[in-house]
A and B are shown apart, each in its own frame.
Chain A
Amino acid sequence: MDPECSQLLPALCAVLADPRQPVADDTCLEKLLDWFKTITKAGSSLLLLQENPCLVELLCHVLKPQDLSSRVLSFSLRLAGVFAAQEDCFQYLQQGELLPRLFGEPGPLGGAAWTAPSVRSGWIQGLRSLAQHPSALHFLADCGAVDTIFSLQGDSSLFVASAAGQLLVHILGLSMQGLAEGHPSLQAGDWPVCAQKIVGHIEESLHSTAVPQITQALNVLTTTFGHCHDPWTQVLWVRLSPLVGSLLEKDPVPAAHSLVDLLLSVARSPGLSSSSCGLWETLAQTLNHLSPTQAGPLALGILKLQDCPQVLRAQAFVILLQPLACVLKATGQDPGPSGVLDSATGDSLTVDVLLSSKAACVGLLCRTLAHLELLQPLPQRPCPWPQEPLLGAAVTLLQLCRGSASPASDVGRHLCALLLGCVRVQRAALDFLGTLSQGTGPQELVTEVFAVLLEYLRSPDSSPTVLKKAFQATFRWLLSSPKTPGCCDLEPHALLVLRELLPVLQKRLCSPCWEVRDSGLEFLTQMTRHWGGQAGFRHALLASEVPKLTEQLLRDPESYVRASAVTVMGQLSSQGLHVTPVSPEHPGGQQKSLLVELLHILSTDSEGFPRRAVMQVFTQWLRDHHADVAGDTEQFMARVLQVASQDLDWEVRAQGLELALVFLEQTLGQFHSHCPYAVTPPVAAPAGSLAQALQPLCRVRLFEFAFRALFDCDRPVAQKSCDLLLFLRAKTASSSGSLEESRSGPDVASVEAALQRWQAGDQGQPLGDLEPEVVAALDCSQALNEDSLMG
């Protein structure tokens, strides 16, 4: 600790110990504790306490009966734990009997302060920090803390209860750690006192009829098996698995959610899953006993396991598919030839849940769809994957939600009534449908997929969130359409879809909801990015009103939409899909070019998003040598940099530097290759050509922009400017020797002086016209040495 802090510490402790000086800001104690943790991590806690006796005094002081805030008491308990984590410091605090007074019966535990959850939480966290060495274990056993932790597992505060469970796991691990080192062969009877006590408590809890107690025990075991894979955990599981298994005999199965977590945690643990204690049988049994809603997460967990018997996987997959199989059956559809869904159709329990209430039906279907969505991309997903029936089910669900399906059976009609207009199922089904695009399907089914997606995109009832997902799913399906070999254009069927899609998109771009207009533009951006160069797409797009409408959206009242419109327009223009139309009012002349329009947005838009989007478009245009830019790049650069430098949004200024860097690379590119693997060895250019190369940079006032950015009060801008100038220096260093003489010239001195004034915060004065020689000289000068750039 530095001496200044040491000096302040007594005063700080005095403030903390004084109940008349309450701590107003609840974060400062947290931060103080963070600071102590850093200090103790770096050095000896014992030394810290010996050198700063005020700390022990504070810990003693909080124990006195007084009107001290619970926050300070909680802080002190946590602080004591942090100190006592080091064994020598623990012994030191023990000498003064301070630890039993803080954490034992005589401490806050028995007092009125214990009613405050923050104190209980502090007590637990203190012990959690303290429990790092064998002495701590003896202490915990002697002061009866473990019993208190047991009771805190059922605390009224979620935070305390959860921390108590975690602490038990930690203590169990710590006590077994000592044993494992000394005794390679493990017998449960030889376990340390603390461990035996905790395991005894877990057994007792598992025998209990109270669900909260069972849940606590299961949670402790889940965390234990999840975190520790030492051999003793196998002994523990062998000992407890019959008890866990006996929970399945109860009806309903208590704490099902926690039981699932535990079984999966055991199954994921390499040592435990390979042991022969009937884990797979227990899992199979659990799958059968749980309700369809509870069994879903277990089934998914089993299918995600790397190593698991095939029979169990098949059983899990059948359970996972059951709700969708019911949907297919209810709507009179063939569950498919694969047989997996076929075997899943018979479960009347699932049908009961689906039909019991709207909430249950929606909940089960959404969970199933989400589980399958997670499973689909995994390499260990079941094989064969019933792609066709799943596609059919997703399409059917979407039709049921729209009321466009007409099921013949009673169950189907009931389902239709429950799901009609249900946005939750629509969202989940669209997400799932999108994921299924990674697989294939027969043409008729794909046609059906596009039909239902178009139905959703067309429907005036679709909510903005549903529309967004419908756009996303449509894009994914278009992307997955089979390609004609050797051609990356959309295949004929997808083109047909596109022709139907564009009028829909057109309508959506005029939606009164900004969310819909924006999702439409994002969709268009994705499409243009992928197929902008393809003839089929280009014809369809140009034949539609979409480009014109997009241009109109550059003046949308919503800034997000304007920004998206800028991005799309930039892209359309890059792909030659935006043609500046001839103005009907001025038959001779043209309307404002897109470049002018974007420059106008950059200089006048009151929101940052569209201005940032413009900068991104300009950077891309410059990279791509876009015609509007390539015509007079210098004028373009000068204009953009001038506007960007005035921008109040630092991200616009930072992007201005990005643009400048591209320009720099292009300008100096031929002059000097910066690629270390370049075939041609770098040759120092003569000074004349360097000055020549720097000339355009000076003309566009790039240096003034970069130097101004160097002193920008927003760090990312200054950092980017550093990068740019360092890049420039690296480029020019080898050839600037011949310009050395200009370093002492009057121009350089005046510019250096101006820069120093800028550094001091006075950026009102311009730098004046920078000549290439001055820039090159400055680049090597003290004003721009690497240290100051990095600082």
Chain B
Amino acid sequence: MVHWSAEEKQLIATVWGKVNVEECGAEALARLLIVYPWTQRFFASFGNLSSPTAIVGNPKVRAHGKKVLTSFGEAVKNLDNIKSTYAKLSELHCEKLHVDPENFRLLGDILIIVLASHFGRDFTPACQFAWQKLVGVVAHALARKYH
């Protein structure tokens, strides 16, 4: 089980409380597809991903980004139980979606940059540490049921 200090929990909750899940989710997924274009391989059904502008404006990208970050919120709500929170999703990503877990790490890193751009100096080094730890734990949990 992951240990979270009181300070880490506080930093995570404070940031999450101010996050616009729809906007940040859409932005994070769009940036993932733009910065690491090979990740587009999972989204052939999303239509026009032919340019950064197309990706940012793509309604399926926006919707899926919102869905992904909303799910992330489950980790924030269940910091002491992230492994079981994501057990089913982990199976899904392995068996149905066939997503290389490296992609979870890439998305996590992108999310950190999106948060940094929204929160500016409020995204202190301590904040970055707590959030980088969280995205790592989420990535690990999502990879856990792979076989």
Query: Do A and B associate with each other?
Result: no
Chain B residues packing against A (C-beta within 8 Å)? none
